[in-house]
């Protein structure tokens, strides 16, 4: 059982939560949220919402009624395994999807290729920490640009190289699937996963839907949403407001705005398909006004996400927050410090789903193989911290202390079961002592050791078993060099 320490209560009191909720109701009822879809506007009208142009005003009663049907947890299925997502379960950590650029072991930075996409699926598949693999329809330089459908090749790569449940990290757009109705495209993606898994009545793909700040839901996201929830597939709405730029300058104001936008989108899912899982997600953070950039690893980012974690728990929704990202440009001290702080939100604060839990740099614009395996250790550290101190008469070890006595020692025989039970021993981080020069000559730097770990994992990787029918299905979309 994963302990839920409700760390958000150290940052948001019940009175704080109630105040944010009351202001959220005022935002929904008096300011409203834009929905760039005639279909969405019609749905809201049919359920009694006030609509003025593209702005929808949601009453407290409508919000309350819609949230009654929103599930607090759900299960996502894949090849012979599944993950359970919700307050009662361990946070689901999801890997880096190979971002736009990759920083390699030699320090060179190159645009992401299809080989990189495959390698990150392999790292996810061989990870003891990462529990889902991420499919992203990037426009890598080596994808066939003559294809109308440049989205499904990445879906097929994910299904070929990972047996873990699937997270779809970006929506279908006119750029990655040309000449196609986006709602129909989203339905086809869901149907493709159902056919591949031969699972027709359960969630098989979880999709990210990014909202607009301030207070808007875009037309492309809504088109994707309709297709996915019509196929009874879960969605995550994700908000990324930037203080003093696309959200208010205060942390509280930013939390209120994000909360209102997320709830408005979730209400729509329940009006269209009551009971479909819809997750409450945010990676909102501060703007550094010196550069006008999102400071993803800043302390204010952690505080905003803690605040939204508290609000998601208030509404009893499954929550995505916490992230293994940094604004750093290398797997350096800044990257480690910011990643540790941001993962604390999810793994000790206890959210339900953590995207980009390993590997991302440069505010999501770059990935790192070495950082991926180092972040796995960071996540393992935090999981161990969350376990806490085991307290019992047995764990007091009084009889053992009495036996050893003053100035005795405890190093006798085999390592005790109690020691093994309570200590996490990292594979890569240094725990050796002695002459530092000698140790580095013998073992290399941390980057060297991380690079060796990546190499060993990629070499040891084994392709998941699939049937001939599944291979034929994937071959319809796999790039030629990756076909069975």
Does the residue 29 lie in any domain? Answer: no
Q: Report how far apart, in Å, the C-alpha atoms of 475 and of each of 197, 467, 480 are.
A: 15, 12, 8
Which of these, 311, 310, 308, 305, lies nearest to 324 by C-alpha position?
305
| pLDDT score at 136 | 81
Q: How far apart are CA 382 and CA 211, in angstroms?
A: 29
3-state secondary structure 147-181: CCECCHHHHHHHHHHCCCCEEECCCCCCCCECCCC
Does the residue 426 lie in any domain? Answer: no
Q: How many CB atoms lie within 10 A of CB 337?
A: 13
**Do 297 and 245 meet the contact criterion of CB atoms below 8 Å apart?**
no
| pLDDT score at 181 | 97
Backbone φ and ψ for 322, nearest 5 degrees, come out as: 85, 140
Its pTM stands at 0.96
Does the residue 184 lie in any domain? Answer: yes
How many domains does the chain fold into? 1
For 188-247, what is each residue's pLDDT tens digit? 999 999 999 999 999 999 999 999 999 999 999 999 999 999 999 999 999 999 999 999
Does the residue 274 lie in any domain? Answer: yes
Which of these, 119, 198, 134, lies nearest to 166 by C-alpha position?
134
| pLDDT score at 170 | 85
- Whether a cis peptide bond, with omega within 30° of 0, leads into 158 is no
Does the residue 282 lie in any domain? Answer: yes
| pLDDT score at 25 | 99
- Is residue 277 left, alpha or beta, with left meaning phi > 0 and alpha meaning psi from -120 to 50? beta
The C-alpha angle with vertex 424 and arms to 431 and 397, in degrees rounded to 5, equals 105
**Do 449 and 431 meet the contact criterion of CB atoms below 8 Å apart?**
no
* Enclosing domain of residue 276: 66-387
Does the residue 78 lie in any domain? Answer: yes
Which of these, 184, 178, 121, lies nearest to 144 by C-alpha position?
178
| pLDDT score at 93 | 96
């006004």: which residue's tokens? Answer: 289
Structure tokens at 37: 């879809």
The string of DSSP letters for 359-417 reads SEEGGGTEEEHHHHHHHHHHHHHHHHHHH----SHHHH-HHHHHHH-TT-----SSPPH
First and final CA of the chain: distance in angstroms? 40
Does the residue 250 lie in any domain? Answer: yes
pLDDT digits (tens), the chain, 484 positions: 789 999 999 999 999 999 999 999 999 999 999 999 999 999 999 999 999 999 999 999 999 999 999 999 999 999 889 999 999 999 999 987 778 899 988 889 999 999 999 999 999 999 999 999 888 877 899 999 999 999 999 999 999 999 999 899 888 999 999 999 999 999 999 999 999 999 999 999 999 999 999 999 999 999 999 999 999 999 999 999 999 999 999 999 999 999 999 999 999 999 999 999 999 999 999 999 999 999 999 999 999 999 999 999 999 999 999 899 999 999 999 999 999 999 999 999 999 999 999 999 999 999 999 999 999 999 999 999 999 999 999 999 999 999 999 999 999 888 899 999 999 999 999 999 999 999 999 999 999 999 999 999 999 999 999 999 999 999 999 999 999 9
Does the residue 2 lie in any domain? Answer: no
| pLDDT score at 379 | 98
The CATH number of whichever domain residue 352 belongs to comes to: 3.20.20.480
């Amino acid at each position: 059982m994963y302990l839920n320490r409700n760390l958000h209560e150290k940052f948001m009191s019940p009175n704080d939560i109630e105040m944010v909720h009351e202001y959220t109701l005022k935002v929904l009822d008096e300011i409203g949220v834009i929905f760039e879809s005639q279909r969405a506007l019609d749905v809201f009208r049919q359920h009694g919402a006030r609509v003025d142009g593209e702005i929808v005003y949601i009453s407290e009663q409508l919000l309350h009624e819609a949230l009654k049907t929103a599930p607090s947890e759900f299960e996502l299925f894949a090849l012979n395994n599944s993950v359970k997502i919700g307050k009662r379960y361990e946070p689901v950590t999801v890997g880096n999807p190979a971002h736009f650029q990759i920083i390699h072991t030699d320090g060179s930075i190159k645009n992401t290729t299809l080989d990189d996409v495959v390698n990150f699926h392999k790292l996810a598949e061989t990870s003891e920490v990462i529990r889902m693999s991420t499919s992203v329809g990037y426009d890598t330089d080596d994808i066939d640009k003559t294809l109308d459908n440049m989205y499904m090749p990445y879906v097929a790569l994910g299904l070929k190289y990972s047996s873990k449940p699937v997270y779809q990290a970006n929506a279908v757009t006119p750029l990655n699937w040309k000449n196609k109705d986006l709602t129909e495209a989203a339905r086809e993606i869901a149907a493709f996963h159902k056919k591949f898994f031969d699972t027709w009545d359960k969630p098989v793909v979880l999709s990210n839907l990014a909202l607009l700040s301030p207070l808007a839901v875009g037309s492309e996201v809504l088109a994707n949403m309709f297709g996915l929830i019509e196929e009874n597939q879960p969605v995550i709405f994700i908000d990324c407001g930037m203080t003093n730029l696309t959200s208010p300058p205060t942390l509280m104001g930013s939390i209120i705005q994000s909360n209102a936008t997320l709830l408005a989108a979730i209400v729509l899912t329940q009006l269209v398909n009551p009971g479909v899982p819809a997750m409450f997600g945010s990676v909102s953070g501060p703007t550094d006004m010196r550069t006008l950039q999102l400071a993803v690893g800043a302390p204010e980012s952690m505080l905003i996400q803690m605040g939204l974690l508290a609000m998601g728990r208030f509404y009893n929704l499954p929550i995505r927050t916490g992230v293994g990202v940094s604004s750093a440009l290398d797997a350096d001290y800044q990257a480690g410090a910011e990643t540790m702080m941001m993962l604390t939100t999810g793994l000790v604060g206890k959210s339900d789903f953590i995207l980009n839990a390993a590997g991302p740099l440069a505010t999501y614009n770059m990935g790192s193989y070495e950082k991926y395996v180092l972040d796995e250790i960071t996540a393992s550290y935090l999981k161990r911290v969350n376990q806490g101190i085991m307290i019992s008469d047995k764990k007091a070890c009084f009889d053992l202390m009495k036996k050893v006595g003053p100035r005795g020692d405890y190093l006798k025989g085999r390592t005790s079961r109690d020691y093994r039970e309570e200590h996490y021993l990292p594979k890569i981080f240094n725990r050796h002592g002695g002459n530092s020069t000698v140790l580095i000559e013998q073992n290399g730097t941390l980057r060297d050791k991380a690079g060796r770990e990546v190499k060993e994992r990629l070499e040891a990787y084994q392709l998941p078993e699939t049937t001939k029918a599944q291979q034929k299905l994937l071959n319809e979309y796999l790039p030629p060099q990756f076909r069975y």
